């Protein structure tokens, strides 16, 4: 099911749950106008008792430091709670963002999320 | 900058509204694409323009200024110079000093305009961030030809 986030420049989410792991497929550009919606959606999932959260970025053609902040925060909060944040399928632009911010090894990568 | 009939100049004025950033990136990228910039340069440009314009929108918000933010692209033989000018007072007037804010990307995810400026300078090491009478101007140059 595709969820449309309200007032967020049309960011969309698909969530898949699979014992202990949630996969959040994000669709749309993540910038300062949509980062809050992403943060809220991740927070909801973090409260759902998942040890692993996969953020699938295949359909995110653009992200800037606003999105990076959200991912960094989620990453450290999950780690503190004994969980893991994994990043799947970053697009060229998102991979470049990770690279230039020195964070390309900071986020654990998962090549192909299950159920694809 | 004086009128130069040899080279194109593109200008976009936009209200300080974050919802417009997507269109501003599209503007900057399509100018670069039309003028033959390599695809990798355009990836970097979109990030840098987004960061510069985000800082500008936020500066206008903090200063409670509704004036338009201006993005200008000047064509030259080998490059395109982009300038983002805001009227949001800026670091000279009590905002965060960019040089201090520079290298904290991974240390402090919550830091303010610092991440954006750090990214701009990583992507475009020659980028200038300078105060103007009303705010801040960010200037960066994109190569038109593969180096």
pLDDT digits (tens, 9 = 90+) for B78-123: 999 999 999 998 755 444 444 433 333 434 444 456 789 999 999 9
The pLDDT value recorded for residue B97 is 47
**CB-CB under 8 Å, B105 with A102:** yes
Min distance A101 CA to chain B CA atoms (Å): 6
Q: pLDDT tens for residues B20-69?
A: 999 999 999 999 999 999 999 999 999 999 999 999 999 999 999 999 99
Higher-confidence position of B1 and B16? B16
**CB-CB under 8 Å, B18 with A32:** yes
The pLDDT value recorded for residue B99 is 41
Which parts of chain A sit beneath pLDDT 70? 1-9, 112-116
Q: Does A91 touch chain B (CB under 8 A)?
A: no
Min distance A17 CA to chain B CA atoms (Å): 28
Look at residue A14 and give its three-state secondary structure.
strand
Look at residue B38 and give its three-state secondary structure.
coil
Size of interface A-B (CB pairs under 8 A): 68
Q: Which of B127, B61, B132, B58 is nearest to B93 (CA)?
A: B132
Distance CA A112, CA A57 (A): 11
A29 chain-B contacts, CB cut-off 8 A: 22
The pLDDT value recorded for residue A75 is 94
**CB-CB under 8 Å, B47 with A97:** yes
- Minimal Cα distance from B53: which residue of A? A32
B49 chain-A contacts, CB cut-off 8 A: none
**CB-CB under 8 Å, B110 with A92:** no
How many angstroms from the chain centroid is the CA of residue A44? 12
The pLDDT value recorded for residue B111 is 47
Q: pLDDT tens for residues B41-52?
A: 999 999 999 999
- How many DSSP H helices and E strands does chain B contain? 4, 5
| CB contact set of A57 (below 8 Å; sequence gap of 6+) | A26, A63, A87, A88, A89, A90, A91, A94
* Residue B147, pLDDT above cutoff 70: no
**CB-CB under 8 Å, A101 with B50:** no
The pLDDT value recorded for residue B108 is 44
CA distances from B81 to A42, B10, B36, B74 (A): 38, 10, 14, 5
* Residue B8, pLDDT above cutoff 80: yes
Is this prediction's ipTM beyond 0.90?
no
Listing DSSP states for B57-112 in one string gives HHHHHHHT--PPEEEEEEE-SSEEEEEEE--S--GGGTS--HHHHTT-TTT-TT-S
Q: pLDDT tens for residues B84-95?
A: 999 998 755 444
The pLDDT value recorded for residue B106 is 38
Beta strands B128-131 and A52-59: pairing type? unpaired
**CB-CB under 8 Å, B54 with A100:** no
Distance CA B130, CA B114 (A): 15
pTM here is: 0.87
Distance CA A42, CA A83 (A): 13
Instruction: Mark out chain B residues that contact chain A at CB-CB < 8 A.
Output: 18-19, 21-22, 25, 43-44, 46-47, 50-51, 54, 57-58, 105-106, 109-110, 115-116, 118-119, 122-123
**CB-CB under 8 Å, A73 with B106:** no
CA distances from A81 to A36, A41, A42, A59, A72 (A): 21, 18, 14, 28, 14
Nearest residue, CB atoms, A65 vs list B22, B25, B51? B51
């Amino acid at each position: 099911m595709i969820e449309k986030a309200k007032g967020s420049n049309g960011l969309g989410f698909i969530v898949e749950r699979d014992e202990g792991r949630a996969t959040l497929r994000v669709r749309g550009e993540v910038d300062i106008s949509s980062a809050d919606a992403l943060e809220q959606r991740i927070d909801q999932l973090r409260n759902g008792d998942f040890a692993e959260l996969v953020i699938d970025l295949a359909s995110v053609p653009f992200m800037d430091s606003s999105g990076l902040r959200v991912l960094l925060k989620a990453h450290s909060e999950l780690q503190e709670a004994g969980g893991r944040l994994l990043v799947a399928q970053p697009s060229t632009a998102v991979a470049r963002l990770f690279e230039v911010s020195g964070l390309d090894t900071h986020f654990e990568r998962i090549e192909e999320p299950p159920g694809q | 900058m004086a009128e130069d009939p040899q080279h194109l100049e593109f200008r976009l004025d936009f209200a300080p509204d974050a919802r417009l950033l997507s269109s501003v990136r599209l503007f900057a990228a399509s100018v670069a694409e039309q003028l033959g910039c390599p695809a990798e340069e355009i990836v970097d440009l979109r990030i840098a323009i987004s960061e510069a314009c985000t800082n500008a929108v936020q500066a206008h918000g903090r200063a409670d200024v509704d004036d338009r933010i201006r993005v200008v692209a000047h064509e030259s033989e080998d490059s395109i110079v982009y300038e983002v000018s805001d009227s949001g007072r800026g670091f000279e007037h009590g905002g965060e000093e960019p040089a201090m804010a520079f290298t904290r990307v991974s240390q402090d995810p919550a830091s303010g305009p610092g991440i954006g400026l750090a990214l701009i300078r990583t992507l475009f090491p020659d980028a200038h961030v300078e105060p103007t009478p009303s705010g801040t101007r960010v200037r960066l140059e994109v190569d038109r030809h593969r180096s």
